[in-house]
Amino acid sequence: MKVTRAVLPFLPLCQRLLPSRLAGLSLNLLKATALEIAILAGHLLLYPSGIIQEQRSPAPGTRTGTGPGPDDSAHDSGGESDASRLPLPVHPPVVLLHGFIDNRSVFVLLRRSLAQHGRQQVESLNYSPLTCDIRTAAELLGRHIEEICERTGRHEVDIVGHSLGGLIARYYVQRLGGDVRVRTLVTLGTPHSGTAVVPMMNAHPIVRQMRPGSAVIEELRERAPHCRTRFVSFWSDLDQLMDPLETACIEHPDLLAQNVRVSGIGHLALPVHPAVAAGIRQALEAEVPGARTAAHANGLTVA
């Protein structure tokens, strides 16, 4: 993440031409923009590798076939194999859901970070770039999560959604009864109240659904008194796609929600930056609903 070295030659000029407060903001914006460009270039290289849906691997301790295996002679007195008696992983599976016109390749670094810190079951889901309705995508997500729970033997999952992916996941949780399956939903740069950025993209139906005042956004404002899922929303003060910036915060009286401000990076860096990955891990590992760490209470500064 040292790509900001490329902007160092321009720093003295900015400091001379701009007032101190404006210069500080402009320098942070310059650094964030340089980082966004570097991440975009890297992501374009990785994008083809994420087009195909990933292969589903069996959960640890589960049997993969219906017939007897070579070690099935090792049964105890109750007739169970050693494999069938292996304990389930401590943590529920983590489902990663990408943003608009993207795919699972955006989560390469995040899923590696999660795996290195003990998350044994991490899966990325692709939805079609031709998806034109958040409600339909949320229904599809629900079917995927039911399949994951059945395959892994778990009752709940955690979800991390970037941008549009977070909005799809929230709709599933809040409007389709997904709170019985989702323990924690972490969103990264998600337009929870709608974003007014790039009006020319209104030709796309799903972009219109992400606008302030759309039918989908209004549905998410409705009462949800019995929603059990815990929400953690990471939002950036330099997010170029959130207009206004605070639209990436969850403000709902019925939801157990925490908003974490991230300073110094843009939209594309949220699922990539190691400081944000550490914050996501803390959010997923919190055992007490609504528990706040010092880092979360004060936000994250990564500039």
State the DSSP code for 271.
T
In angstroms, how far is the first alpha carbon of the chain from the final one? 10
Q: Which residues are within 8 A (CB) of 141 and not within 5 positions of it... i.e. 6 or more apart?
A: 97, 125, 127, 168, 169, 172, 178
Residue, of 107 and 4, whose pLDDT is higher: 107
- Give the model's pLDDT for residue 59: 53
Q: And the tokens for 184?
A: 């924690």
Q: Picking from 7-21, 96-110, 180-194, 225-239, which range would have the lowest pLDDT averaged per residue?
A: 7-21
CA–CA gap between residue 176 and residue 182 (Å, rounded): 12
Residue, of 181 and 7, whose pLDDT is higher: 181
The H or E element that residue 256 is part of is strand 256-263
CA–CA gap between residue 292 and residue 286 (Å, rounded): 8
- Give the model's pLDDT for residue 69: 40
Q: Look up the pTM and report it.
A: 0.81
Q: What is the mean pLDDT of residues 137-145?
A: 97
CA angle 256/258/259 to nearest 5° reads 145
- Give the model's pLDDT for residue 17: 38
Q: Let me know: does 28 contact 16? Beta carbons within 8 Å.
A: no
Q: And the tokens for 10?
A: 């321009």
The H or E element that residue 159 is part of is strand 157-162
- Give the model's pLDDT for residue 177: 97
Residue, of 297 and 270, whose pLDDT is higher: 270
**229 vs 89, 173, 250, CA distance in Å?**
20, 7, 13
**Rg for the chain, CA atoms, rounded:** 21
pLDDT digits (tens, 9 = 90+) for 186-218: 999 999 999 999 999 999 999 999 999 999 999
Which CATH code is given to the segment(s) 93-285?
3.40.50.1820
Residue 118 has pLDDT above 50, yes or no: yes
Torsion angle of the four alpha carbons 81, 86, 88, 94, in this order, in degrees rounded to the nearest 10: -90
Residue 82 has pLDDT above 50, yes or no: no
CA–CA gap between residue 5 and residue 28 (Å, rounded): 12
User: Quick one: what percent of the chain has pLDDT higher than 70?
Assistant: 76
Burial bucket for residue 19 (CB in 10 Å: 0-12, 13-18, 19+): exposed
User: How would you classify the pairing of strands 182-188 and 300-301?
Assistant: unpaired
Q: Let me know: does 173 contact 109? Beta carbons within 8 Å.
A: no
Query: What three-state secondary structure class fits 209?
Result: helix
**Sheet strands (E) in 181-249:** 182-188, 230-236
- Give the model's pLDDT for residue 86: 55
Q: What is the mean pLDDT of residues 231-246?
A: 96
Residue, of 96 and 298, whose pLDDT is higher: 96
